[in-house]
Each structure stands twice: as structure tokens, then as C-alpha cells.
Amino acid sequence: MTKTVAIELVPPVDRLVEHWVKDEQISSEQAVQELIALGFEARLRDLYARYRRAECSFGYLAEALGMSTWELTHLLEERGWTSHNLPG
């Protein structure tokens, strides 16, 4: 399911999107979608690192990403990441 939102880009993000559109010859929408995807991946890596250090639970990790534990398990499997934080 896709969701449409209206946002106002602030400097320097607006300039980055403009540059990206010209450089990559993509639409503003595509550039913003890519930035959002990159932000999600960065957030996922950060939260996953906290989980692996036993700083948060698997349930918290899923909740922080807005998904069920089953969805999170599949997301991690797609990346080849373990879904447990046991040593070894």
C-alpha cells in the first residue's frame, strides 16, 4: 500500500533533491522516495545494532519500525541478518 503525503523540503534537503533530479535525471518524487528509503535503512541499522547489543527487545525493534515481529523477521531474513541476539 502506498501513501501520499505533502511535505515542505527545507535547506539543504531541497538543494540536494534539486541536484539529484538534475544529476540522475529522475523526478523529484523519485529523489524524495530514495531519501526516505535511505533514512529507513539507516534507522533500521541503528535499531538493529541496539538490539544486537541487547539494549532493546525484538518486540521493541518491531514496534519502533512500525511492523509486526513476523514482518520484522522476514525483513531481517531478506538482508541475511539474524533475528536473535544470542552470542555466537
pLDDT tens by residue, the chain, 88 residues: 788 889 899 999 999 999 999 999 999 999 999 999 999 999 999 999 999 999 999 999 999 999 999 999 999 999 999 988 766 5
Q: Cα–Cα distances in Å, from 42 out to 9, 26, 35, 37, 61?
A: 19, 22, 10, 9, 14
Question: Taking the model in full, what pTM does it have?
Answer: 0.84
Domain boundaries, given as residue ranges, for the chain: 13-79
Q: Is the peptide bond before 12 cis (omega within 30 degrees of 0)?
A: yes
